Amino acid sequence: MNQISVEELAQRLSSSDPSIQLVDVREPQELEIASIEGFVNLPLSQFVEWGDQVPTLFNPQAETLVLCHHGIRSAQMCQWLMAQGFTNVQNISGGIAAYSLLVDPSIPQY
């Protein structure tokens, strides 16, 4: 599975590339504590509610970056997306915790 560092993520976000798809698989209560603008929230615990909508929500050929707290849930989502035919999926290594530590300390740790 392809990985992207939080530093690379920051560069990609600063480029404002509209073709990048950003997915955050954390729970709503986690988003209330810490979030990065531009991500679509698809909580893994609510998979049955959104799973069948993914092909209409996202382009399977577009670059898709997936975020969670530390990188475990996002890795699961990346594997699922690839099984659905997504061709350019990257897990954000270290998740939002690493992003807060290494890129933007204004994002709270939890």
Give me the active site residues, please: 68
- Residue holding tokens 């993520």? 9
* Full strand arrangement of the beta sheet holding 21-24: 2-4, 89-92, 64-67, 21-24, 40-41
At how many degrees (to 10) do helices 95-102 and 6-14 cross? Answer: 80
Length of the chain: 110
